Amino acid sequence: MGMSIEDWGNFGAVAGSASGALVGLLFVAISLNRDRIARHPQLRASALQALMVFMLPLMIALLLLIPRQPSAALGIELIILGVIHGLGLAIVGRGKRKAGRRSNSRLARLVDVITPNVLTTVLVLAAGASVLAGHANGLYWLAAAVVIALIGGLANAWLFLILDPD
């Protein structure tokens, strides 16, 4: 028996719930540090980057939960989502590098260079291409993208909160 897109509804619901909760917590952290963030362009860029990474699983969940959606439509939507997400993160990343100085922390520099951004984008694009080609099993790439986005978003948020731009 083959897998269908509808089999991914529960995964979408859980991923969307987790992502939505983390987006909410990030907004609380941003609002509590509003004055500090407003003074530093690098912090604003880091906050936006963390928000974008957390939003990816939420957007994936919304696409997976559209009822009776044709596979080709989902594949195209995932490819568009991957392109928009990747371009958005690239633009924010450029602004982040322009705005700030290099961190003294080796871990912070490593996470900043090898962020989950590229990997999650590639995984979403791979899932979209697989589904568009008629392979529903390609949705497993989304599971990896969601896990990496949630973990990477937590790392980005942590670094954003502990970063001392002064």
The DSSP 8-state label assigned to residue 66 in this structure reads S
**Tens digits of residue pLDDT in 33-54:** 888 888 888 888 888 988 999 9
Contact 44, 37 (CB under 8 A): yes
Considering only CA atoms, which of 33, 128, 144, 145 is closest in space to residue 89? 145
Residue-wise pLDDT for 93-113, tens only, equals 776 666 555 556 666 656 655
Domain edges within the chain: 5-162
Per-residue pLDDT band at 162 (split at 50, 70, 90) = confident
More confident residue, 66 or 103: 66
Q: Residues 81, 146: contact at Cβ < 8 Å?
A: no
